[in-house]
Amino acid sequence: MAGMTTPGPPTEPPEAERAVDCRGLSHRFGDHLAVDDVSLWIAPGEVFGLLGPNGAGKTTTIRLLTTLLPLRQGRARVFGLDPGRRPMRVRRLLGYVPQELSADGSLTGRENVMLFARLFDVPRAQRWERVTEVLAAMELTEAADRVVAGYSGGMVRRLELAQALVNRPRLLVLDEPTIGLDPVARSGVWERITELRAATGMTVLMTTHYMDEADALCDRVALMHRGRLRALGAPAELKDQLGPGASLEDVFRHYTGDHLGDAGRQGGLRDVRRTRRTAGRLG
Ligand SMILES: Nc1ncnc2c1ncn2[C@@H]1O[C@H](COP(=O)(O)OP(=O)(O)OP(=O)(O)O)[C@@H](O)[C@H]1O
């Protein structure tokens, strides 16, 4: 990630111009309060990171914003639209790369992206060009006509990004985009995202366990713990508040009482399991 810089935290835009705006967002699974009174905004063009230990409520928050869970408590807007009332219009503005594998290993890269182009109603006359364009942006031109079962983990992730991008989304939502990837593959994924953001001004909402990644790439981060937001700000601000020499991981530990250990830096058993599950499904 050397040499990658972010432009710094945005100033608070008027409500109508926010990419994401939520207030008092809560969600229960039975008796369990998975998201507890979350309020935040994201500026257009911002890269915003949701950080937190396993079970903090990050994926649930993302699912509420992306129309995958019903909004029962609180208010949410995506580019001014209510995901509860206008789910189809919100979905057209989104590209979503979930944690789970979203590519079909038995198809080629191009066939996978073509499926998404059809799903998103990309006009037939533009499909081939659009698919070729996103595959090239993710550096998959050479591999495009090979079956995905033979792709590396990093290539699969870049393919899933191509799938999410074929719709030309205004908001790209990434749930643990680099989990289980080696450092080279991780920076390959991030370089593509950074280039794309520079070229299109797209807004990115991501979750990650990798503090170095969040520090280098996010304009602002929100730390979640047990469903609640514990801190929100630019990585530099949060580190300064803690004291000289503090890392984002120190900030994380301070607010959550948890620490990521090797799982945060290298990819732990959880990552290995996830990677194996992915490999199993592709093989
Ligand atoms: N469909 C569900 N039914 C019941 N409980 C759920 C469901 N989905 C999530 N939960 C619970 O809600 C809490 C928040 O889960 P969530 O997946 O949002 O956390 P997360 O921060 O994304 O964690 P991870 O990093 O492990 O994905 C957890 O305690 C989880 O067990």
Which residues lie across from 78 on neighbouring strands?
Answer: 20, 81
Q: What is the pLDDT of residue 179?
A: 83
Instruction: Output the CA 30–ligand 1 centroid distance in Å.
Output: 12
Q: Whose Cα sits closest to atom 28 in ligand 1?
A: 55
What are 164's two structure tokens? 């999410």
Q: What is the pLDDT of residues 68-87, one digit of tens each?
A: 999 999 999 999 999 999 99
Angle at 148 between CA 146 and CA 154, to 5 degrees: 110
Instruction: Output the CA 3–ligand 1 centroid distance in Å.
Output: 35
Residue 29 near ligand 1, beta carbon < 6 Å: yes
User: How many angstroms from the chain centroid is the CA of residue 158?
Assistant: 13
Torsion of CA 139, 10, 63, 214, to 10 degrees: 60
Q: Exposure string (b/e) for 48-83, b if CB count within 10 Å is 16 or more? A: bbbbbbeebbbbbbbbbbbbebebeebebbbbebeb
Return d(Cα 33, Cα 229) in angstroms, integer.
13
Closest by CA position to 5, among listed 218, 172, 227, 230: 218
Q: Whose Cα sits closest to atom 25 in ligand 1?
A: 54
* Best mutation site among 36, 38, 59, 176 for ligand 1 pocket (most ligand atoms within 8 Å of CB): 59
Q: Whose Cα sits closest to atom 7 in ligand 1?
A: 29
Is the separation of the CB atoms in 204 and 48 below 8 Å? yes
Is the separation of the CB atoms in 204 and 214 below 8 Å? no
Q: What is the pLDDT of residues 27-65, one digit of tens each?
A: 999 999 999 999 999 999 999 999 988 889 999 999 999
- Judged against a pLDDT cut of 50, whether residue 210 lies above it is answered with yes
Q: Whose Cα sits closest to atom 1 in ligand 1?
A: 29
Q: Domain-by-domain residue ranges, the chain?
A: 46-66+81-93+169-233+262-282
Residue 270 near ligand 1, beta carbon < 6 Å: no
What is the CATH code of the structural domain delimited by 46-66+81-93+169-233+262-282?
3.40.50.300
Is the separation of the CB atoms in 209 and 264 below 8 Å? yes
- Judged against a pLDDT cut of 80, whether residue 258 lies above it is answered with no
Q: What is the pLDDT of residues 107-129, one digit of tens each?
A: 999 999 999 999 888 999 999 99
Q: CB-based contacts of 234: which residues, under 8 Å, 6+ apart?
A: 8, 9, 219, 220, 221
What is the number of the ligand 1 atom nearest to the C-alpha of 30?
A: 4
**If 0-12 CB within 10 Å is exposed, 13-18 middle and 19+ buried, where does residue 106 land?**
exposed
Q: Whose Cα sits closest to atom 12 in ligand 1?
A: 34
Instruction: Output the CA 16–ligand 1 centroid distance in Å.
Output: 30
Quick one: pLDDT band at residue 220, thresholds 50, 70, 90?
very high
* Radius of gyration, CA atoms only, the chain: 18
Return d(Cα 121, Cα 217) in angstroms, integer.
31
SS percent in the chain: helix, strand, coil, step 5: 40, 20, 35
Q: Can you give the pTM of this predicted structure?
A: 0.87
Q: What is the pLDDT of residue 208?
A: 87
Q: What is the pLDDT of residue 281?
A: 47
Quick one: pLDDT band at residue 275, thresholds 50, 70, 90?
low
Quick one: pLDDT band at residue 259, thresholds 50, 70, 90?
low
Residue 57 near ligand 1, beta carbon < 6 Å: yes
User: What percentage of the chain reaches a pLDDT higher than 90?
Assistant: 61
- SS3 label, residue 81: strand
